[in-house]
Amino acid sequence: MGTVEKQFPSAIADKPPEKNWSAACRSYGIIWGQLGRAIVDQLGEKGVEAIKEGQRRVARLQVPRAFESGRFERNAKGMAEYLLLAEQTLGMVVEIAPGATQKKASFRWLKCPLYDDPSEESTPELCDAYVEFEMEAVKLCNPKLTCTSAKCMGRGDDFCEVTFELED
């Protein structure tokens, strides 16, 4: 994995850290959204598959560390709690749906972190490619855990939602 400096550049060091962090995360969201869009526009289905593979690789690098730390339980609620921390760290507007249990939990993105108008700027296939991170993450977290993409702003829903379920 790459390395980043722990301090803001001097040109913006006097601004509130939360403002700098928010702007940086928004910039990365725009970058990832446009990269994904360009890949799919240029390569079609092969581009979708490339994004999925990229998401799986990121999950393989990040998820084992998070769960090996012991901070999160290896169940549906633990998976949602991991995503909540990870996504909020990146400045995303997210939540765990009420009623989460060890057996079933739903995680929501309330605002798209990649596109201002996901139904216009994205495609359902591209959104599915981005959710591949969560699909791979559950396999790494617990082989009895499943992930279903329930809602998608790229399909016109009000928010994106994945549901984690722990099989008996």
Distance, CA of 27 to CA of 55 (rounded, Å): 19
- Return the pLDDT at 156: 94
Tell me the C-alpha distance between 36 and 51, whole Å. Answer: 7
User: Would you state the structure tokens that stand for residue 144, as one six-digit string?
Assistant: 């009895």
What is the SS3 assignment for 107? strand
Q: Which pair of tokens denotes residue 16?
A: 């509130």
pLDDT tens for 34-65 read 999 999 999 999 999 999 999 999 999 999 99
Q: Is-above-0.85 flag for pTM? A: yes
- 3 pLDDT tier (thresholds 50, 70, 90): low
- Backbone torsions φ then ψ of 33, nearest 5 degrees: -65, -45
Query: Within 13 Å of residue 116, how many CA atoms lie on the same side as its CB?
Result: 1
Q: What is the pLDDT of residue 82?
A: 97
CA-to-CA dists, residue 1 to 34, 60, 121, angstroms: 22, 12, 30
What 3-state DSSP class applies to 94?
strand
- The CATH code of domain 17-166 reads 3.30.1380.20
Evaluated on CA atoms 115, 4, 141, 104, the torsion sign reads negative
> What does the pLDDT read at residue 18?
76
Please, is 98 exposed, middle or buried when counting C-beta atoms within 10 Å of its C-beta (0-12, 13-18, 19+)?
Answer: exposed
Residue 25: band (very low, low, confident or very high) from pLDDT cuts 50, 70, 90: confident
What does R_g of the chain's alpha carbons equal in angstroms? 16
> Is the pLDDT confidence value at 5 over 80?
no
